[in-house]
Amino acid sequence: MSRDTISEIITSIRNADMDKKRVLRIGSTNIAQNIVQILFREGFIENVRKHHEKDKSFFVLTLHHRRNRKRPYRNLLNLKRISRPGLRIYSNSQRIPRILGGMGIVILSTAQGIMTDREARLEGLGGEILCYIW
């Protein structure tokens, strides 16, 4: 049985956000590092640091949370896995979808590495659509 590391990353971030947790740990892999860097750069997470414990390393993420208690809690992060091991979804540079008219981002795996939809359009690259974040 194979592990889908991208789904594990997305699910753990989504679960921490729904549970109103501020700090979360995910395993350190190259894919996780690229996705976490994109989330940090785009402002979806507040802080990232790499931590080593014995022979394992992992990322410690700090999530944004609203402190307004007058309204019911709403999730700040919405993540949706698109391409999965059983069904790969590819797109060329002209057909990369826009999420909420450009307010959200699409994370793609291209020949130049993992990047956002804006970067892929500027480079003229297509690739596998990994997930949507808004």
Residue 71 burial (C-beta neighbours within 10 Å; 0-12, 13-18, 19+) = exposed
The per-residue pLDDT for 58 is: 97
Mean of pLDDT values over 92-104: 95
Contact 65, 22 (CB under 8 A): yes
The pTM of the full predicted model, rounded to 2 decimals, is 0.89
**CATH label, 3-131, candidates 3.40.190.80, 3.30.1370.30, 3.40.47.10, 3.40.50.1820:** 3.30.1370.30
* Domain segments of the chain as ranges: 3-131
Cross-strand partners of 61: 24, 48
* Mean pLDDT, the chain, integer: 92
